[in-house]
Amino acid sequence: MHPGSAAAFRASIREAAAMDASAQSGGAGGDATARKPAPKRKAGKKARKAKKARVSQPAFTIQQGEDMLLYISNTSSQSEGLLWTSRRKKVLKAKLLKNQKKKKKTVCPKSRLERKAVKEEEDNRFPEEDRWGQLLPEEVLVNIFQMLVVQDGAVPFLCRVSRVCRLWNAAAATLTLWRKVAVSQCWIQPARGQTEKTSNRIKETFTWLAQNRFSQLRDFTLCHWATSVDFALETVSEFCPHLRSVHLSYCRGMTGSGLRSLGLHSRTLQRLNLQHSEFQVEGLVDFLEEHGKQIRQMLFTRSHRNDKVLAAIAKGFCPDLELLEVNKKLDSKDTELSVCFQSLQKACPKLKIFRMFNIQIQHKAMRKRDESEAGFPLLDEFCIANTEYSYITDQVLRDVLFGSTRLRVLDLRGSTRITTFGLAQLPCSKLECLFWGQYFTKNIGFTSVKKNLQLLMEKWGPTLQQLDITNQPFTEADLEVALTFLTQVAEADTLLSLNLSGTKITAQALRPVIEQMTALGYLNLSSCRNLPRGVKKIYRSQEEIRELLANLH
């Protein structure tokens, strides 16, 4: 704008403002002469303040610059909330919205044809390849669920898929899918205990499952339950007449009440696994005394408190016992256990599997063996593996296995006092698995150099499928003679696994075994100092073993 024109424009604005002010003052004076005098207020009464009329702010502001006028808008995003609006309008608007929410839409019931048309429209909305889960026959869906249940378990998989649709709900309700169930502890926020409300909800859910899904339950597992273990056992035993196996893993608080309920209702119970769980020893002993005749498999973790359980079994409370497995806690220092094998042989003549892991067994001989005693005639597996030390000698081993002619698996890992002469005198002639490696967590030296490994190859070579002689102090010549004899007496497809870790095996002694044992699928050569570099490792397939053979030539 030109400076002269801007000055003229400012002058005109001042003149108009002056005229407007004079007009207002004159009008006010005229009105004052025409009005009546205001009445006087009475004494003692305060004068009321006159209400000031609310003046709305203009939507713009004009500011004068040096040579121009600035037009500034007041309706920006920052000042919109500052503009005054009528409160009455806000209240009316809120009431209107509230009334609209209260009104319910009246929907006229659709006819059957209309509902059918809507369903067809929903079906046509998705292509047929996306609705395969709703088009599958229920029998096919049950078979699919069965494979997933075997892999992942029935809970919580079946509980989740039952919420997909009606078809999946009906398939998940098939009772044959609920024959093996494992229930774990519900997740709780760290540093917070389980409230009474949560505990009641868990009990209600568990009771509903037992009543509606567990009627054909066979194997039941309870994991990491610190409370309500007796409640779970009582509920399962009451509603599951076909229960055969109960497994409590890392549970606490089981008393005689839950065991008595199992004895009263579960007449088909055969397997009881209490490993790594805390239980009332007296209650378990009473249960075995009353109902031990039906138990076929017994597994528990050894401690100084539950040695009475093994004593009860030795007294004959479980005459039909076929499997006995005892282990110990990893942090337990009390590892020695006195075992009377003569009492066990007499009390459990049908025993097929005997396992004691990481327990130093002290053989307790009561009397001389009678000729009428049969030992363990049906024993199929004998395992006394440990990683510290062992008291088992050749004589003790013969006293235990003198009648075990059907023995197929012999696990003597950690037994340093056993010799090849003692093993060769055992009555079993068709041994398939021999685990005789030395695995120590402490620095324990060997008693002497061992020899005559060929005696074992001569006795069990034709049937031996797995051989483990880790860290056994055989000489190079002894290993070469034994493996050569093995290749002569064994078939090509017999030996499947060979562990020579830490031995003095040589490439010359190893080459004939790899060439002739075509079915060999596992070979451990780690820490074998007499082998060349690059081959001292574990081979887990036949292809890797063939590559090793090419490197040895």
524-546: per-residue pLDDT in tens? 999 999 999 889 999 999 999 99
Distance CA 491, CA 482 (A): 15
Residues 502, 415, 318: CA angle, nearest 5 degrees? 135
Q: pLDDT by residue (tens digit) across 232-289?
A: 999 999 999 999 999 999 999 899 999 999 999 999 999 999 999 999 999 999 999 9
| DSSP single-letter state for residue 538 | E
DSSP symbols for 334-346:
--EEEE-HHHHHH
Distance CA 416, CA 384 (A): 12
* Bridging pattern class, strands 522-524 and 538-539: antiparallel
Q: pLDDT by residue (tens digit) across 320-356?
A: 999 999 998 877 777 788 899 999 999 999 999 999 9
- The DSSP H or E segment spanning 66 is none
Look at residue 93 and tell me whether its pLDDT is greater than 90.
Answer: no
Distance CA 542, CA 106 (A): 75
How many C-alpha atoms does 406 have within 13 Å on its Cβ side? 11
Look at residue 81 and tell me whether its pLDDT is greater than 50.
Answer: no
Identify the residue with better confidence: 21 or 427. 427
Q: Using a pLDDT cut of 90, give the percent of the chain over it.
A: 52
- The DSSP H or E segment spanning 465 is none
Domains of the chain: which residue ranges? Answer: 136-178, 449-552
Calculate mean pLDDT across residues 351-363.
92
The model's pTM is 0.74
276-296 burial code (b ≥16 CB/10 A, e <16): bbbbbbebbbbbbeebbeebb
**Structure tokens, 197:** 């409300």
Look at residue 488 and tell me whether its pLDDT is greater than 80.
Answer: yes
Q: pLDDT by residue (tens digit) across 182-219?
A: 998 765 555 566 788 888 888 999 999 999 999 999 99
